Structure 1
């Protein structure tokens, strides 16, 4: 009996297992998963694509027929306006010039004779030694001689111009982009010899849908990203084509870009963002942070290390300098921590824990 009593007392004295309370499960986030609502400048953008070309470029062509003697430049070489690029065989044109000079001398000699004859006949007419008809004939010979001198001067100018055209000079400063002729080749007038491009001022030709063209105006800011370049380049709308393109019904817009260091090249492909409008100092969040359901738009915020669902009223969409963003007009304050990535439905009240970016498996979320 005592043993049973002692056993009962011992049993009553031993503590019963405590019921384990259910602990809420924490959700791990990487630092890149969270962001903040901030006051930023928001731009509404229109994406554009196109290739570059030089605003100033020239095709250097032969002005006279002849044989090419020298080509003094090659592709990629810089040239100055007025610099000699090509020399052609000038022997034929030099001979024509000498011939024109001789013809002018002969015409001037004939004019001197005609002047003396006219003056002599004028004196004889005044004294009554010859008839008026004889004087008129001498005056006509003078007029013909003077016309022959004027014609010979014109022929000399043409010959001089043809001779000077055998020396081909650069019409603009720039770089030689192509060379189409070699020494020894015979060319005719208007044969292309070289191409020269001035890379200091470039433009991108881009198509804008007709539905958006009313929002485009001259001088609008454009950010251009080129292949192989990390930083965007600033440009502006310089021209707008007055006619729509057949088929696509789009309007061509020309974006002008300064290129003082010649980093850009003709034919490079670029993607641009045309700023249609700008709002300064508005509260923005990443576009991926805003979700919507039947109740409206909302974001997941982090308050006191817990997930909170915050109803918001979105405004305009655009770019805030860090990517696609949305203006928030109601529901958040400046500096509010939000989940910047759409991770699906999150449970409000879930504890938030930050994972180190270098921690193995840090991207595995519970």
Structure 2
């Protein structure tokens, strides 16, 4: 009897547990409304300022004057008065050549001139006397004409002697080698005591002008109208020269600032480029002949331009657009790309002060809720377990 009661009690408990489980299983779940998640973005404000436009190219530094100093007469090099690398001015004495034989020739020419002048003086006195005598037929007409011819002959001889003196003086001036330009002396190729010849091709050394200096560069032929406009502008176009810079000219060291001076008279048909030249003041001698540099030319100046970083403008299928923040949401605005620079773009279609998304556009769509981030996200590094 007790066993039957115990069995019935256990069966009742099992039925109750099963019913309770079935009720919990079929109980409707409480509906939860998921709030929209804000997308983190970074923003900038549209600024208005004057923006210069630039074009860049690769160029080579050239000296405006580079002269190989060679002797103009044959002779022994007696003295070199400058050192390698020395800065010299135009007209400075650089070296001297043995001048003793030329001085002797000059003295001889002067002596011959003195002799000719003495003879001419006597002949002129006789000619004057014969002229007076010829009035009274004191001398014949033939004698007078002969004396006139002798005077003319002696005058020509004196002129020849004077020409010999002038030639000797020119030769004597060649024994003093002077700098034809202001510049820097190069490496010397000849030492004192050597016999110099006019046919020597190497010369003594070179004198190269460093300040001012020029840079020659090439640009695409499409730039020809722009360059022509810059050459004709009274305010000469500014040109900057960099070393170690990329094609945008934003990195590297600025070596100098100059102005555009020349466009070549023809376009290279093989490369489709045109050569141009700019002149630079170079007091610090940072620009050196033969140096390869990146040139950056200001071609225009946009007044009151609307400027944004390059990351702001997005490209659609057939147009450019930006995401503008309006409250806590974003909207798309179609813009026109006016100019693309290396660090900033000029656009139209927005207003100064508009807040635009500069980072995080990949998750956005019109009407998305955004959260403006002010600090860069921190990078969390996982600790390695021993």
Which interval holds the TM-score relative to the shorter structure?
A: 0.7 to 0.9
Choose 1 or 2 for highest CA Rg. 2
Change in Cα spacing, 1:106 to 1:246, as seen in structure 2 (3 Å) is: farther
Alignment partners' CA distance in 1, 2:362 and 2:107:
91
Contact preservation (8 Å) 2:338, 2:348: no
Give secondary structure in 1 for the equivalent of 2:186.
Answer: strand
Contact preservation (8 Å) 1:298, 1:309: no
Alignment partners' CA distance in 2, 1:96 and 1:246:
58
Aligned to 1:215: 226
Indicate whether 1:349 and 2:366 are aligned: no
Q: 5+ residue gaps in structure 2? A: 1-8, 246-251, 382-386
1:124-273 matches, within 5 Å, as 124-189=133-198, 191=200, 192-216=203-227, 217-218=230-231, 219-227=236-244, 230-231=253-254, 233-245=256-268, 247-273=270-296
Contact preservation (8 Å) 1:43, 1:277: yes
Alignment partners' CA distance in 2, 1:231 and 1:34:
32
Superposed CA deviations along residues 238-281 of structure 1, whole A, max 9, x for unmatched, are 11122223533432211122223322211222112222222111
Aligned to 1:330: 349
Contact preservation (8 Å) 2:322, 2:335: no
Indicate whether 1:279 and 2:302 are aligned: yes
Alignment partners' CA distance in 2, 1:318 and 1:101:
77
Superposed CA deviations along residues 20-42 of structure 1, whole A, max 9, x for unmatched, are 7656666667xxx7544211223
Change in Cα spacing, 1:210 to 1:27, as seen in structure 2 (3 Å) is: same
Change in Cα spacing, 1:345 to 1:53, as seen in structure 2 (3 Å) is: farther
Contact preservation (8 Å) 1:46, 1:276: yes
Give secondary structure in 1 for the equivalent of 2:240.
Answer: strand
Q: 5+ residue gaps in structure 1? A: none
Aligned residues: 345
Indicate whether 1:66 and 2:86 are aligned: no
Superposed CA deviations along residues 65-108 of structure 1, whole A, max 9, x for unmatched, are 22212222233211122211011111221121122122212212
Contact preservation (8 Å) 2:256, 2:287: no
2:338 paired residue among 308, 312, 316: 316
Contact preservation (8 Å) 2:309, 2:358: no
Shift in Å at residue 290 of structure 1?
Answer: 1.6
Aligned to 1:37: 46
Contact preservation (8 Å) 1:303, 1:337: no
Query: Hey, which of these two has a bigger chunk of strand by percent?
Result: 1
Alignment partners' CA distance in 2, 1:296 and 1:38:
22
Could you say what the CA RMSD is over the residues aligned between the two structures, in angstroms?
Answer: 3.3
TM-score by length of 2: 0.77
Change in Cα spacing, 1:311 to 1:76, as seen in structure 2 (3 Å) is: same
Change in Cα spacing, 1:190 to 1:45, as seen in structure 2 (3 Å) is: farther
Change in Cα spacing, 1:257 to 1:345, as seen in structure 2 (3 Å) is: farther
Change in Cα spacing, 1:361 to 1:234, as seen in structure 2 (3 Å) is: farther
Alignment partners' CA distance in 2, 1:73 and 1:19:
97
TM-score by length of 1: 0.81
